[in-house]
Amino acid sequence: MASHFLAKVYVTLKPTVNDPQGLTVRNGLHNLGFAEVGGVRVGKFLEVQLEAGDREEAARRVQEMGRQLLANPVIEQFRFDLEDVPPPTRPSP
């Protein structure tokens, strides 16, 4: 029987890539009085629910999703954590 997992995927720009969105957030924080803020980097955080036979299979599939769709390998990197989750509840018959 398949198990249910929740993958928490963090997609970030590679360190050498400029981050204009991060600069905008930093400037916004400075303008609001948060002068103590240094750099800001902005990335994506995805929660992906999936079924897999076991944790190893789930990790392999999420790795593949990241490579193919979730991250742009030219400018981004990604990592993820896997959590076991109970299967969705179904209405009683």
Interface with its own copies (CB under 8 A)? 2, 4, 10-12, 22, 25, 28-29, 32, 34, 36-52, 61, 64-65, 68-70, 88
| Minimum gap (Å) between residue 24 Cβ and its own copies | 10
* CA distance linking residue 77 with residue 27, whole number of Å: 25
DSSP state of 88: P
Nearest CB to its own copies, comparing residues 51 and 84: 51
| Minimum gap (Å) between residue 93 Cβ and its own copies | 22
* CA distance linking residue 49 with residue 65, whole number of Å: 12
| Minimum gap (Å) between residue 47 Cβ and its own copies | 4
Contact 81, 5 (CB under 8 A): no
Q: Which two tokens mark 65?
A: 């999703």
